[in-house]
């Protein structure tokens, strides 16, 4: 008898934040975690995020909402902008954890994840890709996810902060 493991979400926090913000609204991360659990049976949700010391309250609220935070040290580019690319961490984590979940959801619009999505799809481990905004979603990602790509831009009423 096969034991049901549940599904895992691997979330590119910065990509989701900026993608939703470009639509003119802010994501309520707590509501999003509930949505993932109820709609996709997400038992574990990893949130990959750059670490900034002054964001402790944000990190605490995300953990309280049920996310497991995977931090990436940040650096500053030549213009003083924060850089905390978590792509490699998300890919590595999702592959290392593959025996612990039934299916995975990758939450991003970033085409850098196309090879991960192809790998998960070919190995029957991809539940879906959730893209923050369909218009800015990578064509490579759409190609590899095939029929398993969905957009978050229609979830404003359900997941908007303050709604």
Confidence of residue 9 (pLDDT cuts 50, 70, 90): very high
Confidence of residue 162 (pLDDT cuts 50, 70, 90): confident
pLDDT (tens digit per residue) in 53-101: 889 999 999 999 999 999 987 777 778 776 667 888 999 999 999 999 9
Give me the chain's average pLDDT, please: 92
pLDDT of 66: 97
In a domain, 126, yes or no: yes
Q: Is the pLDDT of residue 2 over 60?
A: no
Q: Is the pLDDT of residue 143 over 70?
A: yes
In a domain, 105, yes or no: yes
In a domain, 47, yes or no: yes
pTM above 0.75, yes or no: yes
In a domain, 18, yes or no: yes
**Residue 95: CATH number of its domain:** 3.40.50.1010
In a domain, 12, yes or no: yes
In a domain, 138, yes or no: yes
Residue 89: domain span: 7-159
How many C-beta neighbours within 10 Å does residue 8 have?
26
In a domain, 1, yes or no: no
pLDDT of 134: 79
- Give the number of domains in the chain: 1
In a domain, 2, yes or no: no
pLDDT of 114: 95
Q: Is the pLDDT of residue 104 over 60?
A: yes
């Amino acid at each position: 008898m096969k034991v049901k493991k549940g599904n895992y979400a691997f979330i590119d926090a910065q990509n989701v934040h900026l993608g939703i913000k470009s639509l003119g609204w802010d994501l309520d991360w707590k509501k999003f975690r509930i949505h993932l659990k109820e709609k996709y049976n997400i038992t574990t949700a990893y949130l990959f995020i750059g670490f900034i010391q002054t964001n402790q309250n944000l990190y605490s609220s995300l953990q309280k909402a049920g996310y497991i935070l995977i931090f990436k040290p940040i650096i500053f580019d030549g213009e003083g902008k924060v850089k905390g690319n978590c792509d490699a961490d998300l890919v590595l984590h999702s592959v290392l954890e593959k025996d612990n979940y039934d299916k995975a959801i990758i939450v991003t619009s970033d085409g850098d994840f196309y090879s991960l999505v192809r790998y998960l799809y070919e190995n029957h481990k991809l539940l879906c890709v959730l893209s923050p905004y369909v218009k800015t979603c990578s064509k490579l990602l759409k190609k590899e996810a095939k029929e398993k790509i969905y957009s978050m831009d229609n979830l404003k009423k359900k997941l908007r902060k303050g709604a």
